[in-house]
Amino acid sequence: MTYVDTSDISPEMFIIVLLFLLVIAPLFSLAILRLFQGKKKAGLTLIGAGIGVYAIFQLIMVIFF
């Protein structure tokens, strides 16, 4: 059995990943809920926002880490 070594993850990176996950996951969750409710425009807007936040997250990770 092998274990994942997390000692090389900096506290800054951990906090950034945690904050973005707290934003991205609810956006997609709410988007799916809105789509099931028949609110297509609101659902697609939330999906677009989630993709936008994910793109910003990727940009920050490339620049700083």
Domain borders along the chain are 31-65
Which structure tokens are listed for 64? Answer: 């700083």
Inter-residue contact 28 to 50 (CB < 8 Å): yes
- Residue 7: pLDDT band (50, 70, 90) is confident
Average pLDDT rounded to a whole number, residues 7-15: 86
What sign does the dihedral 46-48-53-54 (CA atoms) show? Answer: positive
- Residue 36: pLDDT band (50, 70, 90) is very high
Q: What percent of the chain is modeled with pLDDT above 70?
A: 100
Can you give the pLDDT at residue 43? 95
- Residue 61: pLDDT band (50, 70, 90) is confident
Can you give the pLDDT at residue 8? 85
